[in-house]
Amino acid sequence: MNYETKLLNAIVADGDFALCGTENVKNVFVEQKDIWSFIAEHYESHRKVPSTETIKHHFPDFEVFHVTEPLQYYIDVAHRESLSQQVRTALSRSNDLVEQAGPKEAIGYLMSRTSEMIKISSSLRDTNLVEEWEDRFEDLLARSKEKNRDIIGVPSGIQIMDKIFGGWQAGDFVVLLGWTGVGKSFVARLFAVNAWRAGYTPLVISLEMNKQQEAQRIDTLLNNGEGHFSNTDLVTANPGIVDKYKAWAEETYSGKHPIHVVTTEGMDTADQHMVQAKIDQYKPDLVILDYHGLFDDASGAKSETEKAKNLSKAFKRMAVKNSVPIIDVAAVTMADGHSERPPELEEVAWSKQLAYDADLVLAIHREYNSEVFQIVSRKVRRATHFGFYLRWNLDTGDWKEEWDLA
């Protein structure tokens, strides 16, 4: 029995599909790739790994094996075996190349394959900066010729932030801070919508609102004050805008890339494994988590502080590991009451870990019923601090950047 069969049995016995995503297990399957694909599809549809009986029903030749070790053990063995097989194949192919094309071609092939296999075998991205200066030069040269050269990540859509911070970059962990009710979620959706307009795929995991509320909010933001309808029209189902909505939606959405929204309807647990599974499923360019305090911690924290800390670390690692920017909406402690200003870094609720882990902390404030959002950086890892105003009609979706509030 080979390592693929043992691993498949271990996945079925353990049921932790999220771990398979985290460990990039799919790459180890060659002979039994069809069974792996079946398990992955079953998980996507039913949020559960199929039973042995179900797999046997579809694949009568599937060999059942009594699992005696934890899933991680079989994953490690599979990675080792898979890599060994790839090394053998590469050596055999290079030997053939020496005869057929010559030693230089064989060396070229070996170098290319070795580089790929090192990437697969190393979970950490080890880099020798001295050796790689030419890569950085090529990257710099390419970017210097680009029209929007300031923005090296997914654009936020806000000129000031993109100029100074350079957009959301792979591995960024961004925290949005604000007192309750000031519009943190609106700002997070604005970033999602602006990314989508720029051709990127956002994933919004919303534990605060249901699917309909999310859709209405995103429709309103995309409408962007063009006057087809307002958020109130959508919420109250105004008959007068139904046809206008249809025409607008057809023009806006037809043939376009997705905006993935995950809401809590029917969901028992929303923890870091779920977030990882959704990233694996949708391969987004930008992830928005709303909000930090509502996520469960799979590592079994006993207090809110410990939970907030564990989740913060998990989300930061997830951003780096998946090379995707993650924006996390977080609350501010209310012990001293609601202040009329953007919160400071030390006022983040439950755990200071969020502030430590973040590459950018954006503090947001809006006075009661005001159209003016005050936005300021409280921590910036790769730029200078910045602050600005957004004048924003939340009902029409119309917004613009402002300096002078007079």
Partner 1 sequence: MEKIPTGQDLIIFFQKECDEQGKLFVPDPPRQDQVAKSLVDHFNYEELKPAVGKFISDAYGAVLVFDFALQSRDLIERSKFEEQSKKRFKEIVEQTRLKMESN
272: tokens are 């870091």
Quote the CA–CA distance of 92 and 129 in Å, as a whole number. 32
Least Å from the CB of residue 194 to partner 1: 18
Nearer to partner 1, 259 or 361 (CB): 361
Nearer to partner 1, 28 or 390 (CB): 390
From 178-186, 253-261, 321-329, 373-381, span contacting partner 1 (CB under 8 A): 373-381
Q: Does 387 bind partner 1 (CB under 8 A)?
A: yes
| End-to-end CA gap in the chain | 76
Nearer to partner 1, 309 or 378 (CB): 378
Nearer to partner 1, 32 or 374 (CB): 374
Q: Give the residues across from 331 on adjacent strands.
A: 178
10 Å CB burial of residue 371 (0-12, 13-18, 19+) is: middle
Residue 150 CA, distance from chain mean position: 22
- Let me know: does 189 contact 390? Beta carbons within 8 Å: no
Nearer to partner 1, 192 or 375 (CB): 375
Figure out which of the listed residues 389, 396, 397, 398 binds partner 1, where binding follows CB under 8 A: 389
Total Cβ atoms within 10 A of residue 294 = 15
Site string for partner 1, 155-174 (x = CB under 8 A): ----xx--xx----------
Provide the residue count of the chain. 406
Figure out which of the listed residues 115, 147, 384, 406 binds partner 1, where binding follows CB under 8 A: 384
Nearer to partner 1, 161 or 234 (CB): 161
- Let me know: does 32 contact 40? Beta carbons within 8 Å: no
Q: Does 368 bind partner 1 (CB under 8 A)?
A: no
Site string for partner 1, 324-363 (x = CB under 8 A): ------------xx-xxxx-x-------------------
Q: Strand order of the sheet with strand 372-380?
A: 260-263, 202-206, 286-290, 326-331, 173-178, 360-365, 372-380, 387-392, 399-402
Figure out which of the listed residues 22, 194, 231, 374 binds partner 1, where binding follows CB under 8 A: 374
- Let me know: does 368 contact 182? Beta carbons within 8 Å: no
Number of residues lying near partner 1 (CB under 8 A): 21
Quote the CA–CA distance of 320 and 323 in Å, as a whole number. 5
Q: Does 306 bind partner 1 (CB under 8 A)?
A: no
Token pair 């400071």 in the structure block, residue: 344
Q: Does 144 bind partner 1 (CB under 8 A)?
A: no
Nearer to partner 1, 256 or 341 (CB): 341
Nearer to partner 1, 104 or 382 (CB): 382
Site string for partner 1, 102-141 (x = CB under 8 A): ----------------------------------------
Q: Which residues contact 377 (CB under 8 A, 6 or more apart)?
A: 165, 360, 361, 362, 363, 385, 386, 387
Q: Does 26 bind partner 1 (CB under 8 A)?
A: no
Q: Which positions touch partner 1 (CB under 8 A)? A: 159-160, 163-164, 336-337, 339-342, 344, 374, 376-377, 384-389, 403
